Structure 1
Amino acid sequence: MKFNEWTIKDHYPEMALQDIQPISLRAYSLLNRNISALGPNEGAINLLGALEMLEALDYHFINFTQIEKGESPINQKHEAVAYLNRLGQLYFFTKSRFTKKYIPDSESHMPKVIEFISIRHKNTAHRSLDSPQKEPDEYRDRQAFTFLGATTRKFLGNEQYVFPNYNKDTNETEWFYFTPAIDHPIIMEQSYNLIEKIIKELLNNL
């Protein structure tokens, strides 16, 4: 689909892009301010889908941070799982044919997403207990406990999730650490920069 077939809202037309928060809204403003020039270019639906992914990441992060003290931590855990599953969508956009057409080394621009994608694939997309991939029984049980919050802790005053990942090459369990308050801003900044690079390449190819 072509860009001139869509209307994209700039929520803060008077603000400089770097001042717009959250970053997902900044990305919409960026596209709005370039959409006339992009006009007949194909790829609108590819890019708009990515912006919706960023919007969803901000949504889950904001929900995560606004959960009141004293409320069951299970609610935060649900938001964290939803966040990581959306991150999987962003990963596949990053390595998609569309993105690599304009940014061949796209994955190198998204190191934080790449860092966490195994968590999504191995822990939040499904339980090893339900869909084993030749992992040992002990690992399957340990990974299942992660869903029950058994490996949640505080890190620098922030909620941190500790995920096991079975390394088939070494036959050992590796541990990954997801701290939304620290990792989310990095993910969003890297994602915005990738979107900005794609738009620049689209403009260069007019």
Structure 2
Amino acid sequence: MIKLLAGILAALKTIAVGERHYGQHKGAVLFAQGMEYHYQNYLLNYQGRGYEWQHEVVAYLNRAGQMYYYLISAHVGAKTKDIPSLLGASRFRMKHTAHRQIDAPRAGDYLADFSAPGITTIMPIRRFQAFEHRGRENYFPGLTIPFGSDSAEGAGDTRSFFLHHEHAFIMADVLRVLSLVATKHSQK
């Protein structure tokens, strides 16, 4: 993952050369570094007995949301189809870390506190492993929340966010977009 971060930082450095107002592109360095920082801390903490890993996931999602809005801004101009992994993380962020569904419900939100620490899902490290033989060291915890309607017509979709799985895809999306922008800037 460090190689992806290095590529992102190099692209941002190229893009920032023509920057007129500080912060358009240089500020995105903090977003990228923060995403990598929280990912690395997640890896150090996910096997712990507490919920330190969850704090890292929440912080990661918030930095990912900042990166998302930077990339779709007029300064960069990415389309959401160019950053599908980051779009998915941003949608999750809106339902879990930017606001809790119970505090600021939107149309169709479930009215329950899904940010509670017990609302987690596990993803086996080895998929063939039998569930009863899995110890805490054999899975990655993730966050799961429902998306969609809470109406009598039926339950909505549930989605999970597993940072260990999503990080490489998200960083690759960011790198791909920033590399294209850096190439355009260097040709000017």
Contact 2:39/2:56 (8 A) holds in 1: yes
Aligned AA for 1:29?
A
Q: Deviations over 1:77-100 (max 9, x none)?
A: 111111111111112112111112
Aligned equivalents of 1:93, 1:45: Cα separation in 2: 10
Which structure is higher in helix share?
Answer: 1
- Counterpart CA distance in 2 for 1:168 and 1:199 is 44
Name the TM-score, length of structure 1 as normaliser.
Answer: 0.72
Q: CA deviation at 1:156?
A: 2.2
Mapped to 1, the partners of 2:111 and 2:150 lie a distance apart of: 13
82, 85, 89: which is aligned to 2:59?
Answer: 82
- Root-mean-square deviation (CA), in Å? 2.7
Q: How many residues align?
A: 173
Runs of 4+ in structure 1 over 3 Å off: 29-32, 38-44, 68-71, 167-172
Q: How has the CA–CA distance of structure 1 residues 159 and 39 changed in structure 2, closer, same or farther, with 3 Å as cutoff?
A: closer
Larger radius of gyration: 1
Q: What is residue 74 of structure 2 aligned with on the other side?
A: 97
Q: CA deviation at 1:29?
A: 3.4
Deviations for 1:27-82, whole angstroms, at most 9, x for unmatched residues?
A: 223445x47xx74454663222222211111011011001173431x111111111
Gaps spanning 5+ residues in structure 1: where? 1-19
Q: Using CA pairs below 8 Å that are at least 6 residues apart, which structure has the higher relative contact order? A: 2
Alpha-carbon contact 2:8-2:174 (below 8 Å) kept: no
- Give 2:97's aligned amino acid: T
**Ranges in structure 2 where 5+ consecutive residues have no aligned partner:** 126-139
SS, match of residue 45 in structure 1: coil
Alpha-carbon displacement from aligned partner over 1:116-157 (angstroms, at most 9, x marks no partner)? 222111221111221122446xx212xx1x212333122122
Give me the whole-angstrom Cα distance separating, in 1, the residues matched to 2:95 and 2:48. 30
TM-score, length-normalised on structure 2?
0.78
Could you tell me the percent identity over the aligned residues?
A: 21
DSSP-derived class of the 2:65 partner: helix
2:45 and 2:52 in contact (8 A); partners too = yes
Q: Matches of residues 12-91 of structure 1 in structure 2 within 5 Å?
A: 21-32=2-13, 34=14, 39-40=17-18, 42=20, 45-67=23-45, 69-72=47-50, 74-91=51-68
